[in-house]
Chain A
Amino acid sequence: MANLPLSTTIKLPNGKAYEQPLGLFINNEFVPGVEGKTFEVINPANEEVITSVHEATAKDVDVAVAAARKAFEGGAWPKTTPAERGKLLAKLGDLLERDAELLASVEALDNGKSISMARGDIGAVINNVRYYAGWADKVHGKVVETAADKFNYIRYEPIGVCGQIIPWNFPLLMWAWKIGPALATGNTIVLKTAEQTPLSALVTCKLVVEAGFPPGVLNVLSGFGKTAGAAISRHMDVDKVAFTGSTAVGREIMKAAADSNLKKVTLELGGKSPNIVFNDADIDEAINWANFGIFYNHGQCCCAGSRIYVQEDIYDKFVEKFKARIKKNVVGDPFDEETFQGPQVSQLQFDRIMGYINHGKEAGAKVEVGGERHGNKGYFIQPTLFSNVRPDMKIMQEEIFGPVAAIAKFKNIDEAIKLGNDSNYGLAAAIHTKDLKTALEVSSKLKSGTVWVNTYNSLHSALPFGGYKESGIGRELGKAALANYTQAKTVQINLA
C-alpha cells in the first residue's frame, strides 16, 4: 500500500478507539520500510482486514541491526548500571499495568483469543517484566582461588545484539519472555513479531519510549519469516538469535546461524505432549486438566497436552465424562466475556488443522466430539476428540496446533512411560495420580522439559521452561534464561 501512514485509529469491537502504530520501530521512532512494503493484518474472528502495517525486509533488518549495534557499543546503554536497567524494566512493568486493558483488547482483536484469556496473558506479561527487572542487578560472577599469586574472576557479560523471532500464539507474552532477560542483562535487541500478529508489540513500543529506554536498545520489526526472519538469522552482525515457533523453521534458523557467523542459538519449538491419567486419579480433576491442556488457547500451545493416555480401568468412564466436559467449552466471539475458545489465528492454520482432522478420519480414528468447522465466518473449529488412535497415525505423531485431542488407553506404568516418550518431541508432559510413587517414578522417566503432576499448562516466570529432544535448545523463564543472554569472561591477573 503506497503512503501508509505511521499510525492509525482503530475501533475495537468493544467500542473503544485507540492509536495503533504501524511503522517499524527503530531507534525509538516509528519509520516506514526502506522498500515501502506493507502487509495486511486480519481479524480471525470475521476474516476482515484490521489494518495494514509497514513490512520489514532484509534492508530494514540492516538498519535495525546497525541501530542496535550502535546502542550496544556506545551511548547511554553501556553506561547504565544494572540497577538502573532493572529500574527501567520495572517502570515498563508499571506502564504495561496502566495500559493492561487496552493491550488485552488489541491482543484479542489480532490473535482471536478470548478477552478473558488475553487479560490473563497481559497479567503474565507484567509479572514477567517485573521478574526480570529484579534480576538485572543480581547476575553475579565468581572469584575462583587457584594459587596465592593469582587473582581470578568471572564476569557474566551481555552477548551483544540479539535477534529475537517470536510467534503468534501468545504475541505479547512471547515478547515479554524474550525482552525481559535480554534487557536485564544489558543486551540490545532486534525483535521480529509474527506476521499474523504484529499489533500489540507496536503499541508497547510507545511504552518503551515512555519508560526511558535509550534509542536503539529495543527495535521491533513487523515482517515475514522468509525475508526479515531469515535476514536476522544469517546477519553477520547479530550475535545471538532466539526463536520460538515450529521445529521446521527452528532447523532453518540453526542452519542459517551456522552458515553465517555461528551466532548463539536458543530455540523453543514444537511439542506433542502426553497427558497421562492413572486409574487412581481424581477423574473430575483430571478431566478439567485434560480439557484445559488441549483446548486452552484453541490448542495453539507448544506444550498442549494433545495425546491423552488413560489407564484402561477408567478409560470408558473418562471418555464419556470428557466428551460432556468438552461440549461445555464456549466457542465464540473473542470479545464476549463468556467465550473460552475463539477462532484459530489464520486461514493457513485453519486449513492445516482441518487437514489433520481429515487425516484422522481417513486413517480410521473415531470422532468422539467435533471434527467440523464451527459456524461459517471466522477461522473457528469445533473442539475435537479422536479415539481409536494408533501411535503411528499422523494425528498422534505430528503437532496439529489446534483444538484436536487424541485419546488412547494403556495398561500399566511401563506402557504409560513408553507411550509418553514415543515422540521426537519432549516439551511437556503431565501425570494424574494420587500415588506418590507413581508420580515420582513417571516424572523421573519422562523425557520432557516440564512435567506436571495433577495440573496442566501451569507456567510461572520463576520456573525454567524448554524442551528435550526436538522441542528445543536452552531454557526460558526463571534464572535459567539469563544464561541465554550472557557469556562468561574469565579474567586471570598475575600478581607474581
Chain B
Amino acid sequence: MTLPLSKELTAPNGVKYTQPLGLFINNEFVKSRAGGTLTTVNPTNEEEIATIYAAEAEDVDLAVKAARAAFENPEWSDITPEARGALLNKLAGLVEENAKVLATIDTWNNGKPYSVCLAEDLGESISVLRYYGGWADKVYGKTIDVGPQKLAYTLHQSIGVCGQIIPWNYPLMASWKLGPALATGNTVILKPSEQCPLSALYLAQLIKEAGFPAGVVNVLPGYGPKAGAAIASHPGIDKIAFTGSTFTGSMIMKAASQTLKNITLETGGKSPLLVFDDADLDQAVKWSHIGIMSNMGQVCTATSRIFVQEGIYDKFIEAFKTQVKEVSKIGDPFNEDTFQGPQVTKQQFDRIMKYISDGQSEGAKLVTGGTKHGDKGYFIAPTVFTDVKDDMRISREEIFGPVVTIASFKTEEEAIRRANDTVYGLGAAIFTENITRAHKVAAKIQAGMVWINSSNDSHFGVPFGGVKQSGIGRELGEYALSAYTNAKAVHGKLPLLRPLQYLKANSLK
C-alpha cells in the first residue's frame, strides 16, 4: 500500500490538523522500507481514524544509523548542557502552544476524556519537559579525595543510542522518556504503541521545530513483535527503556540480554489500597474511586485491590457504590461531562469482560456494573466486586480496566501481609489518620510508591517505578537521570608534591 506522508484530518470535535503518517527518521517523515502499515481506530465508535506507516527491522536499522550519527555529531555531542536544556524548554513551549491539538488526537485515538487529557496528560508532559530542561546543566560528576597522589573524579556521561518503547494508556508519556534522555545528551529511537501512535508523530514535528538536530529523536510507530523486538535486540542500541506489560517486559529483557543492554522497565501492577477504620471515609472513597476508575482503569499504578478494615467495610462499600454512580459518567470522551470513555481496543475490551466473567464464576459478589455499556464503542460499565478472596484471578491478575475488587481485613499485620501477597510491587495506598501507622505501614509495603491518604497522586519531581515484577529502575525526578548516564571514573596520577621552600624576602627583588 502506498500512503501519502501526511493527511488532513478532522477530529470529532471539529479540530482540523495535519496528521503525519510516515516514520520520523533524521528529522524527516519517510515511508517504511517494506511498505508495512497499521490502522488506528477510534474506540468510541469503532471507526478507522487513519492508516500510517509501520516500522519493521529494516527501518529500525536506518533509525539506529541516524541516531548513532547524531550522537557522534558535534552539533549534538558538543553543545553545552544549557543549550540542551534550552531545546527541551523550547519543546515544552511548543507542546503548550499545540496542547489542544495534541489532546484532541489522544482523545480521538485513545478514548480518554478530552478535559482530563488537556488538563492532566498535556499539563504533565509540559511540566516534565521543562523539569528536565532545568536538569540538563546540573548533572555532576564528583571529585573524590583519595589522598594527595591522585586527582580522582567521575564523569557522568550519556549512554548513547536509546531505544524507548512506550504504551498506549498515556501516549504523551513520551515526555517521561525523552526528557531525561535528551537532557543528558543521548539520542533516541522512540516506538509508540501500535494502538495510539498518532500524537507521537505530531510531537515529532514539534521536536524538529524546537531545533533538535536531525537524528537526535526518531519516532517509529510499529508492532511490538516486529519493531519492538528489532529495537530490543539491535546491537547498535545501547539502552532500552520500556513501559508496558510485565510479560512483554520480560521478553524485552531477554532480547536485551544478548548484547547486555542497559535496561529499565516499568511494567504491571496490582496495587493494594488499605482503608483502616480510623480513616477519613470521604477522602478514602474519593481517592479509591480515582485510584481505579481514572483513565478507564488503564493505569499501571491503579489501586485495583481495596482492603477495608472490617469495622467500616459495609459503610465503605455503600459509599463507594454511590461515588461510582455519581462520578463515573460514561460517554463520548469529547463531551465535557464524561468521566469515563471507552477502553482502548476490542482486544482490551474482550480481556476485561473475560475477567468480569471469571470473577462471577469464581464466586465474587458483583455489586455494580459487570456489563458492556451501550452498543457502539468499547465501553464497559464501572464494575465493583466485593467479598473477594485473595486467590481469585480477579484479585491476582492485572485487569487494566474499570474493575475493582474489595475485601475486608481484621488487623494491620494481616493487611500488610495480604497487600504484599503479589508478584507485583508498583504502587500502594494507605488511608488512616494515625501518623505512626501511616509511616510504619508505608515502610513495610513492598512497592515503589506509597500514597498516604491519596492514590495515584504522582508528581514529576518524585521518582516513579516498581519493585518485584513491576519493574527495574526509576523514572521521573532526579532519579531518572541515572537511567540515562554512565559513570566513568578517571584516576589522574598527580606529580609528587614537593614541600614548599621558603625564600628570604630580599630574593624577591
Any A CB within 8 A of the CB of B495: yes
Contact in complex: A133, B134 (CB < 8 Å): yes
CA gap between A137 and B436 in the complex, in Å: 28
Q: Which residue of A lies closest to B435 (CB)?
A: A493
Q: Say how far A266's CB is from chain B's closest CB, in angstroms.
A: 21
* Assembled-state Cα–Cα distance A218/B495 (Å): 50
Asked if A131 CB lies within 8 Å of chain B CBs, one says yes
Q: Given that A135-B134, A418-B500, A493-B439 are contacting pairs, would A440 and B495 also be in contact in the complex, using a CB cutoff of 8 Å?
A: yes
Residues on A with beta carbons closer than 8 Å to the beta carbon of B133: 134
A313 beta carbon closer than 8 Å to chain B: no
Q: Do B508 and A83 have beta carbons less than 8 Å apart?
A: no
Query: Which residue of B89, B138, B492, B509 is within 8 Å of A90 (Cβ)?
Result: B89
Known: A131-B137, A493-B439. A137 touches B461 (CB 8 A): yes
Assembly CA distance A358 to B439 (angstroms):
72
- The reply to whether B137 and A462 contact each other, CB–CB distance below 8 Å, is yes
Beyond A137-B131, A495-B439, list 15 extra A-B contacts (CB 8 Å): A82-B461, A127-B82, A137-B461, A138-B135, A138-B478, A140-B478, A414-B500, A419-B508, A441-B497, A441-B498, A461-B82, A462-B81, A462-B82, A495-B436, A495-B440
Q: Please indicate the chain A residues that have their CB under 8 angstroms from the CB of B2 in the complex.
A: none
Judged by a CB distance under 8 angstroms, whether B494 is at the interface is yes
Interchain nearest-CB distance for B444 vs A (Å): 10
Taking a contact as CB atoms under 8 Å apart, the answer to whether B131 and A418 are in contact is no
Bound-state CA distance A493–B439 (Å) is: 9
Q: Does B502 contact A (CB under 8 A)?
A: yes
Contact indicator A391/B508 (Cβ below 8 Å): yes
A437 within 8 A of B: yes
A441 to B499, CA, bound (A): 11
Q: How far is the CB of A377 from chain B (nearest CB, A)?
A: 41
Is B127's CB within 8 Å of the partner chain A?
A: yes
B427 on interface, CB distance cutoff 8 Å: no
What residues on A are CB-neighbors of B134 within 8 Å? 86, 133-138
Q: How far is the CB of A54 from chain B (nearest CB, A)?
A: 37
Q: Are B508 and A134 in contact (CB-based, < 8 A)? A: no
30 A–B contacts from the bound complex (CB under 8 Å):
A83-B127, A87-B130, A90-B89, A127-B82, A130-B86, A134-B136, A137-B131, A137-B134, A137-B461, A138-B134, A138-B138, A390-B509, A414-B498, A414-B501, A415-B507, A418-B502, A418-B503, A437-B495, A440-B495, A441-B497, A445-B497, A461-B82, A461-B137, A462-B137, A479-B138, A479-B140, A493-B435, A494-B436, A495-B436, A495-B439
Interface residues as binary, A119-149 with B (CB distance below 8 Å gives 1, 0 otherwise): 0000000010011011111101000000000
A18 proximal to B (CB < 8 A) = no
User: Which of chain A's residues has its CB closest to B89's CB?
Assistant: A90
A312-B440 Cα distance, complex, nearest whole Å = 71
Query: In this assembly, does A417 line the interface, its C-beta being within 8 Å of a C-beta of chain B?
Result: yes
Is B151 an interface residue when CB atoms closer than 8 A count as contact? Answer: yes
Q: Give the shortest distance, in Å, between B154 (CB) and chain A (any CB).
A: 16
Known: A134-B135, A419-B508, A493-B439. A441 touches B495 (CB 8 A): yes
Say yes or no: B495 contacts A462, CB within 8 Å. no
The 0/1 profile, CB within 8 Å of B marked 1, for residues 469-496 of chain A is 0000000000100000000000001111
In the complex, residue of chain A having the shortest beta-carbon distance to the beta carbon of B137: A462
Docked CA distance A135–B136 (Å) = 11
Residues of B within 8 A of A86 (CB): 130, 134
Rounded to whole Å, the gap between the CB of A95 and the closest CB of chain B is 14
Quick check: A83 and B497 within 8 Å, CB to CB? no
In the assembly, what is the distance between CA of A90 and CA of B85, in Å? 12
Q: Which residues of A contact B492 (CB under 8 A)?
A: 440
Residues of A within 8 A of B440 (CB): 495
CB-based contact B478/A131 at 8 Å: no
With A and B bound together, what is the CA distance between A391 and B504 in angstroms? 13
Interface: A444 (CB within 8 A): yes
Contact string, B125-153, partner A, CB cutoff 8 A, digits 1/0? Answer: 00100110111111010000000000100
CA distance A415 to B18 in the complex (A): 71
- Are A440 and B494 in contact (CB-based, < 8 A)? yes
Known contacts being A131-B82, A493-B439, is A415 close to B137, with CB within 8 Å? no
Return the CB mask of B78-91 against A: 1 if under 8 Å, else 0.
00011001100100
Q: Are B500 and A445 in contact (CB under 8 A)?
A: yes
Nearest CB of B to A391, in Å:
6
Q: Are B497 and A444 in contact (CB under 8 A)?
A: yes
Do A135 and B138 form a contact, CB below 8 Å, given A441-B495, A495-B436?
yes
Residues of B94-131 at the interface with A, using a CB-CB cut-off of 8 Å, are: 127, 130-131
Q: In the complex the two chains form, what is the Cα distance from A127 to B83 in whole Å?
A: 11
Q: Are B131 and A83 in contact (CB under 8 A)?
A: yes
